[in-house]
Every structure is written in C-alpha cells, then in structure tokens.
C-alpha cells in the first residue's frame, strides 16, 4: 500500500534537489562530506560522456525490520527509479522498476531486485540495475521515506482533483483514510491518505492511475516559481533524508537544467511484465521484448550509438571489458560475442559506409583501434574486433 507514496516522494525529492535550489544547495554543501558509502570512486556508477544522457538511479528505502537497531538493520528499496536526463533536448524520462522484479544478484543468486540494497547498499543496487537494463548509471540518490508529509506541507500542499469518495481504516496498521471527491489542496496528512488508498473498482489499474495523477501534481507544484521561496526549509528536510554521490557543483548544473524543463517534457514509464509465483515466491517477470523496446525509447532514441563487440584474440572476458568501457561512455552494446577467429593482431572498428561518423566517435574512446570501412554491406552497425594489442 505504500508503494505509490514512495514513488511520488522519490520523484519530488529529485525535482526539488534539481530546482533553482542548485546554487543554494551548493553553498550549503561545499564543505559537507558525502554520506558513508557514497564515495564515487568506490561505487559502480559510470563516467558521464559529454553530451550523452545522464541516468540517475533513485532508491526509496523502506523502514527495515521493525525493532531492529539501525546499525544492524537491512533496508530494501521499495522504490527503484531510473531518471534519464537529456540536457541538450531538455527532456526527462523516468522508468519505474517494480521492487519484486526477478533478477540474479551477484553472489546471492536469484532474488527480488529490491534485495540489492539490503545485501550491498547503493553500490550493489547500481550494479544490479545496470545489468538488468543494460544501460550506464552515472549517479544515485538514496531517499529515506519518513519525511513525505513534512515535504508536502513545506511545499504548501498539493492541488489535486479527487475522483471518488475514499474511505478506509485499518487500526492495526495505523491507516485512516477519509477523503471526499472534488478539486482541493491536500496537506501532508491528506496526501498520504490519497496515495495509500487502494479500494478502486479496477484494483491495481485504479491505483496506477491515481499514482500517476499524484506524481504529476507533485511535479507541477515543485516546478512553480513560488517553490523557490520554500526551498531552505525543504532542503533542510532533504539533507536529513537523502544520500547521493551527486557533487554540489553538479547539483548546480542540474538546477540550471531543471529551470528549463517543461512539465510536458517529463515522461514516465514502468517496466512491462506480470506477477508470477515461482517456487512459492511472488516475483515480477518482465516482458523482455517489450522492455527492450522501452529501453531503446528511453535511453537510446536520441542519437546514442549502437555497437557490436567481438573477441578476436581469444583472451577470456576481453570483449566484455571493452563493452563495459563503451557502455560507461553512453554507447549501446547490442552484441558481445566471438569473432570468426582469434588471430586478429590489431583492434579494429569495422563500419558500414553510412556509419563513419559513429565509428569515429567510438575511436575517441578506443584510441588505439584502427578504422576500416566495410565494403560488402555484411554489417549494419559499427563492429569492434578486439585484437591481441588489447591484452
């Protein structure tokens, strides 16, 4: 029941972090050390390629085990979002990954994706999401979710049109919902009631529609110029509830970007799939073909270069190593395989005639590689054959 609340809060916090607060936040943060575990030199985040999309992983943490001491508590990420920014074209795309998505965690076997933070914190979560989506992750933001009502109140409430009577109570769970239909401004308490309600006639579909409605209302509120006057109080709340590897000066850059983004340029997606029980455990199983198309639309539809990497020297893992380097620079590696033989001496970028400019971009990363145009149209995209000079 808390999932819509956590998605909404994570998006709101990102927007507020990025808003005109950038310079204020910079002044407040220049001398502040990063939280434990947020050292960018030890994380799995990738280096951002200039001009490419910036992908930020947002993790909304649950309360952990009730009664456990914080130093021994293991928090799962109830909300997992990848926010992809195109600073050149001024658009934002947000992909929500269901917390029960079935994945393989390095060293822990098959798990739900939200277990990554419990086993390895933000570092393992970044690695897991990168492997799951096949896209680079450049930064992360970890959100503590206990401050939802305070932030909504600090914003001055959220304007929303409630479509139906909402009434529900669960004394054992401490849930009391009592809202009437109509256009109104929800304070923190009523906003929490709205996002926790689940008594819709069409069940999950109704909840998804309400979730999207509330997120859009949050975004509209956060992007209003009047929000600037409330930023000091909001930032005080955020600083106590957010861990990130985004540096203060980069936050200022995000602020400049956010001021130029229009509401209609923010698009939201959710991983397509279905729930299934496997060996007695409930998982979310993605529809892989649909997901691949969605990944292309979100992360690679704006000029990102697709490339194939082939092992031409026989050394184990060499093609994967080159592929990882390219992905960290924003390229999309669509194939990692063996070449026709392992006798290639020189790493070569083979490209079709109409892909010369793309091959030259790849050569800026693989500076020792040789460029070779393919004359017989046997390939349709730049293909790297890793030679013995890469050992």
Q: Which two tokens stand for residue 255?
A: 């602020």
> What's the residue count for the chain?
391
* Bridge partners, residue 82, by sequence: 57, 95
Coil/strand/helix, residue 124: helix
pLDDT along the chain (391 residues), means of 10: 45 49 49 42 67 82 50 66 85 86 88 90 90 87 72 87 89 80 92 78 60 76 75 72 77 73 79 89 90 86 79 91 85 84 93 89 91 82 92 70
Residue 65, pLDDT score: 46
| Per-residue burial over 271-291, b = 16 or more CB atoms within 10 Å of its CB, e = otherwise | bebeeeeeeeeebbebeeeeb
113-118, Cβ contacts within 8 angstroms, sequence gap of 24 or more: 113/77, 113/80, 114/76, 114/77, 114/78, 114/80, 115/76, 116/77, 117/59, 117/61, 117/75, 117/76, 117/77, 117/142, 118/74, 118/75, 118/76
Residue 72, pLDDT score: 43
Coil/strand/helix, residue 360: helix
Rg (CA), the chain: 23
CA distances 247 to 31, 124, 221, 244, Å, are 11, 20, 25, 8
Give φ, ψ of 175 to 5 degrees: -110, 125
Dihedral angle of Cα 89, 55, 351, 312, to the nearest 10 degrees: 170
Q: Which two tokens stand for residue 105?
A: 């965690």
Q: Which two tokens stand for residue 101?
A: 């998505």
Write the DSSP assignment of 285-341 as a string of letters.
EE-HHHHHHHHHHHHSSSSPPEEEEEE-S--TTHHHHHHHHHHHTT-EEEEEEE-S-
Q: Looking up tokens 């709340």, which residue turns up?
A: 237
Residue 3, pLDDT score: 44
Residue 63, pLDDT score: 52
* Bridge partners, residue 85, by sequence: 54, 92
Q: Looking up tokens 């091959």, which residue turns up?
A: 359
Q: How far apart are CA 220 and CA 207, in angstroms?
A: 20
Q: Describe the strand order of the beta sheet including 332-338 as a list of residue ranges.
A: 332-338, 306-311, 383-386, 348-351, 370-373
Q: Looking up tokens 């980069």, which residue turns up?
A: 250
Coil/strand/helix, residue 67: coil
Among residues 208, 153, 148, 213, the alpha carbon closest in space to that of 186 is found at 153
């Amino acid at each position: 029941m808390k999932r819509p609340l956590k998605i909404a809060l994570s998006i709101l916090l990102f927007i507020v972090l990025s808003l005109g607060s950038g310079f204020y936040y910079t002044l407040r943060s220049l001398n502040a050390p990063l939280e434990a575990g947020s050292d960018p030199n030890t994380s799995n985040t990738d280096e951002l390629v200039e001009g490419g999309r910036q992908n930020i992983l947002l993790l909304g943490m649950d309360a952990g085990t009730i009664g456990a001491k914080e130093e021994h508590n293991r928090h799962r990420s109830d909300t997992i979002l990848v926010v992809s920014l195109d600073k050149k074209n001024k658009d934002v795309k947000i992909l929500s990954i269901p917390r029960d998505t079935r994945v393989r965690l390095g060293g822990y076997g098959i798990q739900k994706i939200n277990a990554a933070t419990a086993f390895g914190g933000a570092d393992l979560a970044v690695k897991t999401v990168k492997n799951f989506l096949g896209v680079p992750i450049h930064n992360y933001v970890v959100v503590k979710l206990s401050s939802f009502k305070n932030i909504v109140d600090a914003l001055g409430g959220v304007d929303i049109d409630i479509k139906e009577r909402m009434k529900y109570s669960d004394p054992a769970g401490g849930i009391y919902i009592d809202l009437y239909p109509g256009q109104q401004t929800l304070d923190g308490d009523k906003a929490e009631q709205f996002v926790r309600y689940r008594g819709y006639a069409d069940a999950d579909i109704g909840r998804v529609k309400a979730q999207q409605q509330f997120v859009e209302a949050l975004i509209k509120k956060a992007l209003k110029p009047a929000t600037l006057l409330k930023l000091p109080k909001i930032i005080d709340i955020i600083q106590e509830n957010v861990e990130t590897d985004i540096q203060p000066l980069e936050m200022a850059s995000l602020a400049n970007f956010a001021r130029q983004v229009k509401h209609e340029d923010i698009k939201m997606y959710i991983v397509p799939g279905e729930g299934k029980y496997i060996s007695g455990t409930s998982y979310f199983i993605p529809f892989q073909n649909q997901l691949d198309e969605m990944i292309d639309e979100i992360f690679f539809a704006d000029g990102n270069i697709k490339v194939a990497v082939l092992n031409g020297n026989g050394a184990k893992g060499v093609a994967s190593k080159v592929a990882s380097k390219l992905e960290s620079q924003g390229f999309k590696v669509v194939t990692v395989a063996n070449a026709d033989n392992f006798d290639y001496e020189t790493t070569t970028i083979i490209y079709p005639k109409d892909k010369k400019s793309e091959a030259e971009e790849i050569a800026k990363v693989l500076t020792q590689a040789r460029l070779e145009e393919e004359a017989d149209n046997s390939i349709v995209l730049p293909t790297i054959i890793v030679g013995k000079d890469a050992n």
